[in-house]
Chains A and B, each alone.
Chain A
Amino acid sequence: MNSSSLLTPSSSSSPHLQSPATFDHDDFLHQIFSSTPWPSSVLDDAPPPTSDCAAVTGFHHHDADSRNQITMIPLSHNVTNDALFHGFSSGSLPFHLPQGSGSQTQTQSQATASTTTGGTTAQPQTKPKVRARRGQATDPHSIAERLRRERIAERMKSLQELVPNGNKTDKASMLDEIIDYVKFLQLQVKVLSMSRLGGAASVSSQISEDAGGSHENTSSSGEAKMTEHQVAKLMEEDMGSAMQYLQGKGLCLMPISLATTISTATCPSRNPFVKDTGVPLSPNLSTTTVANGNGSSLVTVKDAPSVSKP
């Protein structure tokens, strides 16, 4: 590696520009920094050599970087960019650099180090070297920051596979999806634990009372009447508590019109006062009507939660 020779760019002044047909990367760098077309005006300015050395030292640092990218453009100094460009144009360098579109290339090189190096090294197979992006060259903080971002991106990808509907490319919407999915799962657990209550009640009543089929029916219908009275009492006091009580039982309230619409849609002939579990569409749906004191009737619908994942 000719890195040591790069440290003294202006020392050797022999132009090697036109020499080898096949030069490798190090020679190329050597040529750039040691060629005479490097205008003397540049050398007169104090900053260019230092920025030059900075670029070179940056280069050194990024030897160790795992990125393996290339740069040798001095960081942000206009004059040196001018100098480089003029240096390139005046000598016939064996790589393609559009000399007509001078300022364009220059701004390109200023804008993105990546495209500049891509333009200046026309070789298809350059040895992968370490490289820094513009403005963040040698800062270990930014390297660490970049590594951190990569880790986060990796994890987000694995999360993407877990979450359904994870085909969003946008990071922000993907994160929103993840958050919503976690909320949804937690809600599912909550709902299922509510319904577990109903299941547990029926199971325990069955076990404890030596249940036959009829016994179970009478107990459940008795429970229904008790529920109705309880709900009616609660509704007189506070609708909120009534709703909560019903929720604890796995029931919900809805206007009769809606319930009748649903029931007639699913099963044409029904006695609304009998608990019906044979509804084709939703086998766990059963309704009870409760007459409210206000004169409006409400229907409670019992539904085993069908919050299944799509």
Chain B
Amino acid sequence: MASADKLINTDVPEKDVFALHFLQSLSNLKTQNPLNSPAKSIDRVRKIKKAAYVSMARAAGGTSRLWSRALLRRAAKDDNKSVRFSRRKRKVTWKISSKRRKSNNQRAPVVEEAAERLRNLVPGGGGMETSKLMEETAHYIKCLSMQVKVMQCLVDGLSQK
């Protein structure tokens, strides 16, 4: 719906941005860890996967989206690093005050239980209102599909050798 997209910004950068970030993270990985023994391949898989997600989060807008922020924070926590967040004026909308909302029982239970499942999937979804959650989901889906395309192209390019 065109009018909806005007209100909500769900633009993602082009494929090149994602590819650039991902390749950079991969080369970082390679310099950090030379070829391990096969028994630890699972760790390598995990590292690659994590690098993929982190590079995707960075490419998609860094800390400007809620899900990317949560992803980066989670990744940094695992590595015992700290993420620098730029201070931004949070636009306080009246929708965010959900305390009064809790008393209102008229939320569609169908939507809400689906929203619960989505919250488990989308990073950072735990603290979001349902409408905000869906916005983040839309952006997350776009970024994920872009990342998958990039990785698929890389795999195809490499496997042809």
Residues of A within 8 A of B (CB): 141-142, 145, 148-149, 151-152, 154-159, 161-163, 171-172, 175-176, 178-179, 181-183, 185-186, 188-190, 192-197, 199-206, 226-227, 230, 244-245, 248-249, 284, 304-305, 308-309
Contact = CB atoms under 8 A, between A and B. Distances in A.
Contacts of B144: 182, 185-186, 189
B44 A197 contact: yes
Contact of B152 (A172, A182, A190, A308): A308
Interface stretch (B57-65, B75-83, B84-92, B117-125): B117-125
Contacts of A199: 154-155, 158-159
Nearest to A248: B41
Nearest to B145: A185
B30 A193 contact: no
Which secondary structure dominates chain B's binding surface? helix
Contacts of A284: 159
Contacts of B106: 141-142, 145
B111 A175 contact: yes
Nearest to A170: B110
Contacts of B118: 175, 178-179, 182
A171 B110 contact: yes
Contacts of A192: 52, 148, 151-152, 155
Contacts of A203: 158, 161
A183 B48 contact: no
Contacts of A186: 121, 144
Given A189-B49, A245-B41, A248-B41, A196 B134 contact: no
Given A182-B121, A248-B38, A309-B145, A195 B114 contact: no
B104 interface: yes
A248 B137 contact: no
A249 B38 CA distance: 8
A300 to B, nearest CB: 14
Contacts of A245: 38-39, 41-42
A244 B44 CA distance: 13
Contacts of B38: 226-227, 230, 245, 248-249
A248 to B, nearest CB: 3
**Most A Cβ at <10 Å: residue of B5, B41, B135, B145:** B41
**Most B Cβ at <10 Å: residue of A196, A199, A201:** A196
Interface in B133-161: 134-135, 137-138, 140-142, 144-145, 147-148, 151-152, 154-156, 158-159, 161
A67 to B, nearest CB: 17
B8 interface: yes
13 contacts: A155-B4, A156-B134, A159-B134, A162-B138, A163-B141, A182-B118, A189-B49, A192-B151, A192-B152, A193-B45, A194-B48, A195-B155, A245-B38
Nearest to A284: B159
Nearest to B1: A157
Interface in B98-129: 100, 104, 106-108, 110-111, 114, 117-118, 121-122
Contacts of B155: 192, 195-196, 199, 304-305
B53 A189 contact: yes
